[in-house]
Amino acid sequence: MKKRQNKWKLLFSNDIGIDLGTVNTLVYLGGRGIVLNEPSVVAINQKTGRVVAVGKEAKEMLGRTPAHLKAVCPLVSGVISDYEVSEEMLSYFLRQVKKISKRIRRPRVVVGVPSGITNVESRAVRDAARAAGAREVHIIEEPLAAAIGVELPVNDPVGNMVIDMGGGTTDLAVISLGGVVISRNVKIAGDKLNEDIISYVRNKFQILIGERTAEAVKIAAGSMLEEETSVEIPVRGRDLVSGLPREVMVTDEDIKKAVAPSLEKLLEAVKEILEETPPEILSDILKRGIVFVGGGALIRGLREAFEEELQIPIHTVSDPLSCVARGTGLVLENFSLYKDALIKDDDAFEPST
Ligand code: ADP
Ligand code: MG
């Protein structure tokens, strides 16, 4: 009987989980799953101050806008850097979701945020979601949401560890008994690797490439493995001396060299957090391994490289880009089970269960 009730409840669900990533925003609709996955980008007409495009359409404009248009990523390092634009972006995404499900009016929302954000930063997220039409806003740390999303036993008295390497930041978190025991937010993630590639190509070939080109090369040629045959990608950029376009060949070796210093720093941060982990939990992690999620987990061979450096099993998952969103959705669908995992809102009413 109870199961049946739950099914009805889900069918008429007014609940939405949001992974507000620096690069991608995903929305999970209760009872339905992930219904929206778009870049976290907004294009603004600077003359009128109006939003011209959001999501995919706005991303296409990045780096290509005429003088009066500006494409903005309102989240920097995972936190809201431009409040009004973030609110507009959230409103737009919520409108899209309302088109998918007419029942959604003023939804109850769970939003994932980077671990360790300040009260002021989480207040900005709450306010933006409310202004965008949410009735009730709850906030969860992203690595915890990711752990729930990949169905780790977060409520058990065992230590789990998650590395979530996104665009702006990599979240490292040790989790036990439904909460984050230790966490760290490192500003070395996909965007930094793109910057590394830009400066490497500038130094080696004396050409300037754009951010989107760098990202495309990273995805196409990036590999931490010892490849038997070298991967070569033609890359066009502007010659620093002549100012004219020029094409060069960038290899997987180039990418490896370009990103090595950043990855080294990231590994140092992981080691530091392991050093601070209480011994009982550390022994759980050594046995159970670390779960590696986020877009960074898609870099070929990075899992193996981390495993070798840390001498701890590293596991990747089938949906590294969507597990945070799925986790926020699972929190809503099993609210009483996970409500203690949410970040407390100091001036809130008691949340409904
Ligand atoms: P966020 O949560 O910050 O929005 P995501 O977890 O969605 O970030 O990951 C986005 C990052 O992952 C980007 O920097 C992107 O370049 C990188 N990425 C996505 N796919 C791949 C891939 N196949 N190989 C390497 N990097 C990737
Ligand atoms: Mg993320």
The amino acid that residue 69 corresponds to is L
Report the distance separating Cα 46 and Cα 51, nearest Å. 9
Query: What are the helix (H) ranges across the chain?
Result: 2-11, 56-61, 83-100, 119-131, 142-149, 190-205, 211-221, 252-276, 279-288, 302-310, 323-333, 335-338
Q: At what angle do helices 190-205 and 211-221 cross, to 10 degrees?
A: 100
pLDDT at residue 85, as a whole number: 87
**CA 113 distance to own-chain centroid:** 9
Q: Whose CA is nearest to atom 14 of ligand 1?
A: 190
pLDDT at residue 198, as a whole number: 98
pLDDT at residue 347, as a whole number: 57
Ligand 1 atom at minimum distance from 23 CA: 4
Report the distance separating Cα 25 and Cα 330, nearest Å. 17
The amino acid that residue 100 corresponds to is I
- Who lines ligand 1 at CB under 6 A? 21-24, 166-168, 190-191, 215, 218-219, 222, 294-296, 298-299, 321
pLDDT at residue 344, as a whole number: 85
Q: Whose CA is nearest to atom 9 of ligand 1?
A: 295
Burial of 245 (0-12, 13-18, 19+ CB in 10 A): exposed
- How many angstroms does the Cα of residue 190 sit away from the middle of ligand 1? 6
Host H or E run for residue 158: none
Residues paired with residue 234 on neighbouring β-strands, in sequence order: 249
Q: What digits encode the pLDDT tens for the residues 137-175?
A: 999 999 999 999 999 999 999 999 999 999 999 999 999
Report the distance separating Cα 1 and Cα 6, nearest Å. 9
Report the distance separating Cα 198 and Cα 257, nearest Å. 12
Q: What is the pTM of this model?
A: 0.92
pLDDT at residue 349, as a whole number: 52
List phi, psi (to 5°) of 166: -100, -140
Residue stretches of the chain with pLDDT short of 70 = 1-12, 77-78, 346-353
Q: What digits encode the pLDDT tens for the residues 37-94?
A: 999 999 988 888 888 999 999 988 877 777 788 888 887 766 777 788 888 899 999 9
- How many angstroms does the Cα of residue 202 sit away from the middle of ligand 2? 29
pLDDT at residue 10, as a whole number: 58
pLDDT at residue 1, as a whole number: 45
Report the distance separating Cα 130 and Cα 124, nearest Å. 10
